[in-house]
Amino acid sequence: MLIPNLLESTAGRFPNKDALWYKQEWMTYAQLETYANRLARALRKLGVKQCDRVALLYENSFYYVIAHFAIFKAGAVSVSLNTETSAQSLAYLLHDCEAKAIFAAGKYLPLLAQTEAQLSHLEHVFTDRDALAFPPGFTRLRAAAIEDLWSQGPGDPPSCEVREADLGSLVYTSGSTAKPKGVMLSHQNLVSNAQAVLQYMQLTPEDRVLCVLPFYYIYGTSLLYTHFAAGGSVVIENRFAYPNVALDTLEKTAASGFAGVPSTFAILLTKSTLRRRVFPSLRYVTQAGGAMAPALQKEVAEAFQPARLFIMYGCTEAAPRLTYLEPEALPLKWGSIGKAVPGVEVIVADERGNRLPPGKTGEIAARGPNIMMGYWKDPQATAEAIRNGWYFTGDLGREDEEGYLFVVGRSKDMIKTAGNSVSAQEIEEVLMELEGVSEAAVIGIPDAILGEGIKVFVVPKPGRALDPEAIKAKLKIRLPVFNQPAWIEVRDDLPKSVAGKVLKTILRDEACSSLG
C-alpha cells in the first residue's frame, strides 16, 4: 500500500464522512480526494515528475493536507518544512533536497524572493490566491494559486508507477547539534507504521483526534495517517498558545482522542482549566516526543481519566513509532516506554547489535519495515546509524525481567563530570517529583576542574515560588554526589520548538555565554 491509498481507500468507503476540521468547517473524504487528485494532475502538467522533491511550508490547514496527498499522488516526494524558519535555513533545505516546487503560505514568499538566486533547482511556487494579490517579487520563479489548480480537471488520480519501497517523504531532523539531516522514509515505512499504531490503538471510523501538533513534525503526520487509515477524523487546532481555546475545541468537536508531547501536558496542567473539565467523548490520550517523567505521567493519567493514556516512544527514523505502553500496565510500569509495536523488534543492544540481558544498560536498537531508508545524501551518517541490520537510536535503555523497556538517557545527553557519566534525564525525573516544579531541564556546561558541571533549569507551577538552595538540599538526599548540580536557575519558561521540545542548545549557549 502507498501513502495516498490511505486517503483513497477511505474516500471510497466513506465519501461523505467528515474527515478534516479547520476553522469551524468540515471537509469530507470525497472533497479531500477530489481536490488532491486535481492538484496532483496539475503538478504533472506543470512538469513535476516521479521522484521530484516538492516542499511544503504551510501550517496545519486544508491547504497542507490536500497538497501533502497531491504530492504523493503525482509520484513526487513530500518534503515538509518547519514553519519556524529563516531565509538562511529555508535556502539550505531547499537547496539540499533539490526541490523542484514548493507549496508555501503567503507570509513565506518574501523569504523565497530573498533567496531565489540560491535556489537553482526550484521552478514553481504554489500559494493561496490572496497572497498573489501583491506581486511576490520573483525574477525567475513561477507562482500559481493553489485554488486555481484544484478547482478544475478530472477528479480521479493520475497514473504513476510508484512502488512501496520508493521514497515517499524526506523529513529533516531539527539540526540541534549539527546541520539538519534528511530522513528518507519510503511509502512502506510510513504505511506499515500507521497500520501498527492503528492496530494497538484499536482506532475505528468513530474516532476523532484533536491535533495541536504541526504536521511537518512526524508525530503530527502519524495522527493524520492513522486516523485517515481508520476512516476517522482529524480536528486541526493551531491555537494551543491559548490552551483553554484548544480544550474548548476538544469539547465542541466531541473529539475521542488527544495527542501531545511532555510540554503539551505540562502546559495543560498548569495553565488551563483542564482539571475542572469533563470530556465525555474522550477515549484515549497519547504521549510521545520525548521522555515524560513518571510524576508527570501520573498527573496526566489522573487529569484525563477515564480516558486511557498511551505512553509511546519513537523517532523520525522509525516513521515514527517503535514502542508503546498499554494503559493497563501504566500503574505497574511508571516510566516505561513499553514494548515494541506490532511487526517491529526493539532491543537493548551492545555496540554490535547483540541483545543485552535484563537490567543491563545499552543502546536501544530496532529493526522492522518502518525503519528509514537512510539519510539523504549522507552515506556515512547512515552507516553509523544502521549497523548489522539494526537501527541504533542513540537512546540508552534497559529492559526489565518482563520485557518492558525503559529509557535511561540520551547518549548525546549524558554529562561527563569528574569522570562519571550522568544522565540528564535521571536528574530531570527527580526534579519533576519535587513540590512546585512544573518543568525541568538539565544540561552540562564546561568546567575547568570537573570537565562538565551540571546546571539545572526549573519552571515553577503557577503561584508557587522555588528556592534554588532548597532544591539543592532536596537533591542531596535523592541523588548521588556526582549527580549534584552546581547551578540551579529558576525561569518563567523554557525555550521550545514549535513541536514542544525543550531546546537545550539554547539553554547551553546562554549558560556558556554567562560564564564568559
306 cis-preceded (ω within 30 degrees of 0) = yes
DSSP one-letter string for 135-198: ----SS-EEEEHHHHHSSS-SSPPP----TTSEEEEEE---SSSS--EEEEEHHHHHHHHHHHH
Instruction: Give the C-alpha separation, 122 to 95, whole Å.
Output: 8
150-162 average pLDDT score: 92
133-138 average pLDDT score: 90
Distance of CA 64 to the CA centre of its chain: 16
Residue 7 in grid coordinates: 486517503
256-274 average pLDDT score: 95
Structure confidence at residue 125 (pLDDT): 98
Residue pointed to by grid coordinates 501550517: 59
Phi-psi region of 152 (alpha: psi -120 to 50; beta: other; left: phi over 0): beta
Helix axes 424-432, 468-478, angle to 10 degrees: 110
Q: Which amino acid is at 243?
A: P
Structure confidence at residue 174 (pLDDT): 67
Tell me the backbone φ, ψ of residue 505, rounded to 5 degrees: -65, -40
Window from 100-109, 407-416, 462-471 with minimum mean pLDDT = 407-416
Instruction: Give the C-alpha separation, 116 to 112, whole Å.
Output: 6
Structure confidence at residue 177 (pLDDT): 44
Structure confidence at residue 129 (pLDDT): 95
Q: Percentage of the chain with pLDDT > 90?
A: 84
305-329 average pLDDT score: 97
Whether residue 176 has pLDDT greater than 60: no
Residue 231 in grid coordinates: 476512516
Instruction: Give the C-alpha separation, 338 to 102, whole Å.
Output: 39
Residue pointed to by grid coordinates 562519571: 420
pLDDT digit string, tens, across residues 476-499: 999 888 889 999 999 999 999 877
**Domains delineated in the chain:** 3-162 (3.40.50.980), 187-410 (3.40.50.12780), 418-515 (3.30.300.30)
Whether residue 413 has pLDDT greater than 90: no
Structure confidence at residue 419 (pLDDT): 67
Instruction: Give the C-alpha separation, 426 to 409, whole Å.
Output: 7
CA dihedral defined by 376, 378, 381, 382, rounded to 10 degrees?
A: 60
pLDDT digit string, tens, across residues 52-80: 999 999 999 999 999 999 999 999 999 99
Whether residue 118 has pLDDT greater than 70: yes
Whether residue 175 has pLDDT greater than 60: no
Residue pointed to by grid coordinates 493561496: 128
Whether residue 416 has pLDDT greater than 90: no
Tell me the backbone φ, ψ of residue 288, rounded to 5 degrees: -155, -165
Neighbours of 237 (CB within 10 A): 23
Instruction: Give the C-alpha separation, 348 to 405, whole Å.
Output: 8
Strand partners, 78: 54, 169
Helix axes 29-45, 3-13, angle to 10 degrees: 140
Structure confidence at residue 499 (pLDDT): 79
> Predicted confidence band at 178 (pLDDT cuts at 50, 70, 90)?
low
Query: Any alpha helices (H) in 51-157, and if so which ranges?
Result: 62-73, 87-97, 109-115, 146-150
Structure confidence at residue 35 (pLDDT): 98
Structure confidence at residue 34 (pLDDT): 98
Mean pLDDT of the chain: 94
In the sheet that holds 124-127, the strands lie side by side as: 142-145, 124-127, 101-104, 53-57, 77-80, 167-172, 182-186, 374-375
Structure confidence at residue 516 (pLDDT): 59
Angle ∠(213,219,224) on CA atoms, nearest 5: 80
Question: Is residue 375 packed enough to be buried (19+ CB in 10 Å), middle (13-18) or exposed (0-12)?
Answer: buried
Whether residue 3 has pLDDT greater than 70: yes
Phi-psi region of 449 (alpha: psi -120 to 50; beta: other; left: phi over 0): alpha
Q: Kindly give, in sequence order, each residue whose CB lies less than 8 Å from that of residue 220, ignoring residues fewer than 6 positions away.
A: 60, 211, 213, 214, 499
